Amino acid sequence: MNAQRFYSEGLSLKDMGYTEEAKDCFRQAMRSGSYDVELNVEIANRLNELKDHAGAMECLRRVLSFEPHNAKVWLRLSEIHEAIGDSSSAQSAMLSARRCDPYLFKSPFFASIIKAFRAVLESHMREHHH
């Protein structure tokens, strides 16, 4: 099966409440080798929703292996790192996103994400500089 079919099957299983089976399908979709960035980001999002953060990050890193200058993928990776409490990796991914697209942070779409992230970084900096 190709990535899209595994992804679709995973969605069906997720909707029916078969969480572990859905995770397996999403992981199969990720490992099927698709170079469709949007599909891979959706697979990562579904894995993240199912609390498979490691799988989600693996999927995003795979995308970055063939599209290393995709700022939005770096940003999504940063969000997942932050969600699991890995502020250092989150900051690193955020800086990579900024290097890829310096104008990314001027977009209204990202304004709320950036504001929240700055608050977390400021809090982190205060904790580690006292």
Q: 85-116 pLDDT, tens per residue?
A: 998 999 999 999 989 988 776 666 566 666 66
For the segment 25-56, what is each residue's pLDDT rounded down to a tens digit? 999 999 998 899 999 999 999 999 999 999 99
More confident residue, 47 or 118: 47
Given this model, what pLDDT does residue 33 score? 85
Taking the whole predicted model, whether its pTM rises above 0.85 is answered as no
Delimiting residues of CATH 1.25.40.10 domain(s) in the chain: 1-67
- How many whole angstroms separate alpha carbon 111 and alpha carbon 74? 16
CATH number for the domain whose boundaries are 1-67 = 1.25.40.10
